[in-house]
Amino acid sequence: ADCARCQEIITCGFTPNPLSTSKIQKTAFGAEESISSRHISSTKEALLDLKQKYQHDELLIWALETHDTAITHINSPLPTLHHDTDPSDEKGEKRKRKVYLALLLGNEVTGVDLDLLHLVDAVVEIPTFGSKNSMNVAVAAGIVIYDVLRRWSIVK
């Protein structure tokens, strides 16, 4: 997340986080200090919190999950990074709307809770061609994050 300059990591449920274990410090080599993180007990609560926090900007939420309705991450809808001025600022001042993408990652074994899919804008998956239909969640996150950066012309 730090290498891609992600803004924040939100962990949910029993997911280890910098507040709950020192093991993250051992593997992160200090990166946990350069990126904001917080823990919210419920994934649904975290998604609703994000929607509230970014209500005046453009927030797109993708669930990374192998599912019947999933589309490949390469073809998934992605807004342009920069928007024209939005006159709907609460102070009546014109400002640039910011674009944010939240990536919902599931448990290694059970994946994303299917009851939460109604809260996301798209269910995306990485095409696989072997006998397995999914990959390690950390590897999958890196693939999707860097593809978004490429599509936004941040990585060429």
Summarize pLDDT for 24-56 with one digit per residue, the tens: 555 555 555 667 778 888 999 999 999 999 988
Higher pLDDT, 66 or 84: 66
Q: What is the mean pLDDT of residues 113-117?
A: 94
The Cβ-side half-sphere exposure at 122, using a 13 Å CA radius, reads 17
pLDDT exceeds 90 at position 17 = no
Lowest mean per-residue pLDDT among 54-58, 92-96, 99-103: 92-96
Fill in the amino acid letter for 52. Q
Residues 6+ apart with CB under 8 A from 118: none
Q: Are 104 and 116 in contact (CB under 8 A)?
A: yes
What pTM was estimated for this model as a whole?
Answer: 0.80
- Per-position b or e across 109-126, b if 16+ CB within 10 A of its CB: eebbbeebbebbebbbbb
Max Cα–Cα distance, the chain, nearest Å: 56
User: How high is the pLDDT of residue 108?
Assistant: 80
Q: What is the mean pLDDT of residues 109-123?
A: 92
pLDDT exceeds 90 at position 148 = yes
